[in-house]
């Protein structure tokens, strides 16, 4: 197997009394989009900053494509591109100027920088706005430019720290498309997100972290499988019938049903595929009026809750 | 959005550990700093109007009440005013540094293969050019309200050059303040310390009218030496007789203070920047 693009072993980082990373282990192989998923304060950003050589670790070992992040920061920096939570682009400069500046800082000559900037603008769908000051850009365009700025150095590893935080759904989809295109071109990506659907959409490997530790990892499908089978969801006609349906399902599955009053839904995790008809019979027998019944994959929300509560 | 493969850039051909040169990266950071000033109409207009307004207030509101021996008040005032203008633009530098930290520019820069210090050298270089512009504007307004130097062209240019040097030297203090502050607002607050230092000096009024305890401070602080150095060079003989020492004395002391500021604050800035 080739050298992993990121390998972290027992990585520690403290800020005063707070432990941001508490012995985090993570291996990201080439050709994967790895999503770090976790709540605020889980240590996601701290880890990305460590990979980007922006902070010094207190312990453990962190290698990026085999280079030690602590001892060979220059080698790591030449391989990575970083796009942050804030769009670190300069509002008074044009999109093109922003990208050319970053390319020049990468050590490219004037002509190379111009070419790289033009190519990235095209790739990000910003060619038309290229020569306008960034202060006139929408939030989504700024974020795409920020992503572009992390690309002009032709990085082999792209670090995206909450790339779509604060974007409207349409801009979010556009940015997702842009990221997918990059992945198709062979760039490795490490991204952090609080959005489970974002990890589900983009990542081939998800690492769930909480309190500075990796608590679970695997492909989205593996993680869903880990909390067992599928989910049966019953939508009742009235709120009063929720508890009736819940107890009927619980008797059948010997599990804990989750009741959502607001949407009048009862859901329960089930083992095999044959139980849907059994569940339907049980609900019918309870006499409750049912609007809709669905058998579905557990959402990452459910995966996450199951893992962090454990 | 279409997929376009990037042209094979020279970055790919470069050895993995290579760092972009200090000069090149400093220039890029400096250029950005300057664009941020010059493309912000508020910065240009407000900075200019503010400087001109204070100059007019000193010249025409306070000026009539201030007596200086040996020269007119406008000739006394302008060298000190021009010199201290670099300190007031320094307040803007503190704010800009804090913004660069807060808005992610520093993060981006530090994730790039550039020398660590290039943020600091780039800021210092860019802010110094911005100072040059400010100095030119304030000097021009000075001439417009009646200031006439008598030191001879060479000395007058040297006086202007000294202002640039002081601006550069104290830029390092403002960078440190900006790095320490954390937020632009806090940086602006911290940079207010410019006020007591500039006013309790010989920059705008002769020190000898101040109470004794204050004179002790005013006589010995760097801004007095720097103001007097600029004044002595710009005004020539009558002024130097009034000051008590030849121009060389003030210039030497002022340069010692300036060097001291760089020696003290540049390493502090680097240490703080490396930690952040």
Contact A67 B32 (CB under 8 A): no
Distance from CA of B187 to the nearest CA of A (A): 20
> Does residue B2 have a pLDDT over 60?
no
Distance from CA of A41 to the nearest CA of B (A): 19
Over residues A19-77, the pLDDT tens digits come to 999 999 999 998 889 999 988 888 999 999 999 998 889 999 999 999 999 899 889 98
Up-side HSE of residue A185: CA atoms within 13 Å toward CB?
21
Residue A114, pLDDT score: 96
A28-42, A275-289, B245-259: which range is least confident on average? A275-289
Residue B256, pLDDT score: 97
Give the nearest chain B residue to A119 (CA atoms).
B6
Percent of chain A exceeding pLDDT 90 equals 38
> Does residue B1 have a pLDDT over 70?
no
Bigger pLDDT: A121 or A249? A121
Sort out which chain A residues have CB atoms less than 8 A from B17's CB and list them: 72, 74-75, 78
> Does residue B65 have a pLDDT over 50?
yes
B11, B21, B183: best to mutate for the A interface, most A CBs within 10 A: B11
Tokens representing B202 are 């010989």
- At A1, the pLDDT band (50, 70, 90 cuts) reads low
What is the Cα Rg of chain A in Å?
Answer: 23
DSSP, collapsed to helix, strand or coil, labels residue B97 as helix
A53, A84, A88: best to mutate for the B interface, most B CBs within 10 A: A88
A141-155, A290-304, B108-122, B170-184: which range is least confident on average? A290-304
Over residues A64-121, the pLDDT tens digits come to 999 999 899 889 988 999 987 766 899 999 999 999 999 999 999 999 999 999 999 9
B2, B3, B9: best to mutate for the A interface, most A CBs within 10 A: B9
Contact A80 B111 (CB under 8 A): yes
List C-alpha distances in Å: A34 to A5, A40, A87, A163.
11, 18, 21, 13
Give the nearest chain B residue to A181 (CA atoms).
B3
Contact B14 A107 (CB under 8 A): yes
Contact B11 A177 (CB under 8 A): no
What are the φ/ψ torsions at residue A159 (nearest 5 degrees)?
-110, 120
> Does residue B49 have a pLDDT over 50?
yes
Contact A149 B108 (CB under 8 A): yes
> Does residue A310 have a pLDDT over 60?
no
A86 touches chain B (CB under 8 A): yes
A218 touches chain B (CB under 8 A): no
Residue A227, pLDDT score: 65
> Does residue A193 have a pLDDT over 50?
yes
ipTM confidence score: 0.86
Burial of B64 (C-beta count, 10 Å sphere; 0-12/13-18/19+): exposed
Contact B104 A86 (CB under 8 A): yes
Cα-based torsion angle of the residue sequence B38, B43, B46, B50 in order, rounded to the nearest 10 degrees: -90
> Does residue B8 have a pLDDT over 50?
no
Give the nearest chain B residue to A100 (CA atoms).
B28
In our burial notation (b when 16+ CB lie closer than 10 A, e otherwise), range A215-237 reads ebbeebeebbeebebbbbbbbbe
Contact A106 B104 (CB under 8 A): no
Give one DSSP letter per residue of chain A, joined into a string. -PPPSEEEEEEEEEETTEEEEEEEEEEE-TT-EEEEE--TTSSHHHHHHHHTTSS--SEEEEEETTEETTT-HHHHHHHEEEE-SS----TTSBHHHHHHHHHHHTT--HHHHHHHHHHHHHHTT-GGGTTSBGGGS-HHHHHHHHHHHTTTT--SEEEEESTTTT--HHHHHHHHHHHHHHHHTT-EEEEEES-HHHHHHH-SEEEEEETTEEEEEE-HHHHHHHT-SEEEEEEESSGGGHHHHHHHHHHHH-SPPEEETTTTEEEEEESSSTHHHHHHHHHHHHT--EEEEEEEPPPHHHHHHHHHH-
Residue B9, pLDDT score: 41
Q: Span A239-256, mean pLDDT?
A: 82
Bigger pLDDT: A223 or A162? A162
Over residues B83-95, the pLDDT tens digits come to 999 999 888 899 9
A17-26, A80-89, A158-167, B195-204: which range is least confident on average? A80-89
Residue A273, pLDDT score: 56
Residue A228, pLDDT score: 64
Select the residue of B11, B104, B109 nearest A108 (Cβ to Cβ).
B11
Distance from CA of B84 to the nearest CA of A (A): 28
Over residues B141-159, the pLDDT tens digits come to 999 999 998 888 999 999 9
- At A201, the pLDDT band (50, 70, 90 cuts) reads confident
Residue B139, pLDDT score: 94
List C-alpha distances in Å: A103 to B21, B111, B261.
13, 13, 34
Give the nearest chain A residue to B6 (CA atoms).
A119
Sort out which chain A residues have CB atoms less than 8 A from B105's CB and list them: 88, 90
> Does residue B276 have a pLDDT over 80?
no
Give the nearest chain B residue to A78 (CA atoms).
B113
CA dist B167 and B171 (Å) reads: 6
Contact B1 A125 (CB under 8 A): yes
Sort out which chain A residues have CB atoms less than 8 A from B109's CB and list them: 105
Contact B113 A107 (CB under 8 A): yes
A104 neighbors B113 (Cβ within 8 angstroms): no
Tokens representing A20 are 């941001």
This prediction's pTM: 0.83
Give counts: helices (H), strands (E), chain B. Answer: 13, 0
CA dist A193 and A236 (Å) reads: 33
Give the nearest chain B residue to A156 (CA atoms).
B12
Mean pLDDT of chain A: 87
């Amino acid at each position: 197997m080739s050298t992993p693009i990121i390998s972290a072993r027992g990585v520690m980082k403290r800020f005063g009394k707070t432990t941001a990373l508490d012995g985090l282990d993570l291996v990201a192989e080439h050709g994967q989009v790895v999503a770090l998923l976790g709540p605020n304060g889980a240590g996601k950003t701290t880890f990305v900053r460590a990979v980007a050589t922006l902070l010094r670790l207190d312990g453990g070992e962190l290698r990026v494509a085999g280079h030690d992040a602590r001892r060979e920061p220059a080698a790591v920096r030449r391989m990575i591109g970083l796009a942050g939570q804030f769009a670190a682009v300069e509002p008074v400069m044009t999109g093109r100027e922003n990208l050319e500046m970053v390319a020049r800082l990468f050590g490219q000559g004037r002509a190379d920088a111009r070419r790289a900037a033009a190519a990235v603008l095209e790739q990000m769908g910003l060619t038309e706005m290229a020569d306008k000051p960034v202060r006139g850009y929408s939030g989504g365009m700024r974020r795409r430019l920020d992503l572009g700025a992390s690309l002009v150095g032709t990085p082999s590893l792209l670090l995206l720290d909450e790339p779509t935080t604060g974007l409207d759904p349409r801009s979010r989809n556009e940015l997702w498309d842009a990221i997918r295109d990059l992945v198709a071109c062979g760039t490795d990506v490490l991204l952090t997100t609080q959005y489970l659907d974002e990890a589900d959409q983009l990542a081939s490997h998800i690492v769930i972290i909480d309190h500075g530790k990796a608590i679970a990892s695997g492909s989205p499908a593996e993680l869903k499988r880990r909390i067992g089978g599928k989910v049966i969801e019953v939508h009742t006609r009235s709120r009063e019938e929720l508890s009736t349906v819940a107890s009927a399902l619980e008797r059948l599955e010997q599990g804990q049903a989750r009741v959502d009053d607001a949407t009048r839904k009862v859901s329960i995790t089930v083992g095999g595929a044959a139980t849907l008809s059994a569940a339907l019979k049980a609900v019918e027998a309870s006499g409750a009026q049912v609007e809709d019944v669905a058998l579905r994959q557990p959402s990452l929300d459910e995966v996450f809750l199951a893992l962090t509560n454990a | 959005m279409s997929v376009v493969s990037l042209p094979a850039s020279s970055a790919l051909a470069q050895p993995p550990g290579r760092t972009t040169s200090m000069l090149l990266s400093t220039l890029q950071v400096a250029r950005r700093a300057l664009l941020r000033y010059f493309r912000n109409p508020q910065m240009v207009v407000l900075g200019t109007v503010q400087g001109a307004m204070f100059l007019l207030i000193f010249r025409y509101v306070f000026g009539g009440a201030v007596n200086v021996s040996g020269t007119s008040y406008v000739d006394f005032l302008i060298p000190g005013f021009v010199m201290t203008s670099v300190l007031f633009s320094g307040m803007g530098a503190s704010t800009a540094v804090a913004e660069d930290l807060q808005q992610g520019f520093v993060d981006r820069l530090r994730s790039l293969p550039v020398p660590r210090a290039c943020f600091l050298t780039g800021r210092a270089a860019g802010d110094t050019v911005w100072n040059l512009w400010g100095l030119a504007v304030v000097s021009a307004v000075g001439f417009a309200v009646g200031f006439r130097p008598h030191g001879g062209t060479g000395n007058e240019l040297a006086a202007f050059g000294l202002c640039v040097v002081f601006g550069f030297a104290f830029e390092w203090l403002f960078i440190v303040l900006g790095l320490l502050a954390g937020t632009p607002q806090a940086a602006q607050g911290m940079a207010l310390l410019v006020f007591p230092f500039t006013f309790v000096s010989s920059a705008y009024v002769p020190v000898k009218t101040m109470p004794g305890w204050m004179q002790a401070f005013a006589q010995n602080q760097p801004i007095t030496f720097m103001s007097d150095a600029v004044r002595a060079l710009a005004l020539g003989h009558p002024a130097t007789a009034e000051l008590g020492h030849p121009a060389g004395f003030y210039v030497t002391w002022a340069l010692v203070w300036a060097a001291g500021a760089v020696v003290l604050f540049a390493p502090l800035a680097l240490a703080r920047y490396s930690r952040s």
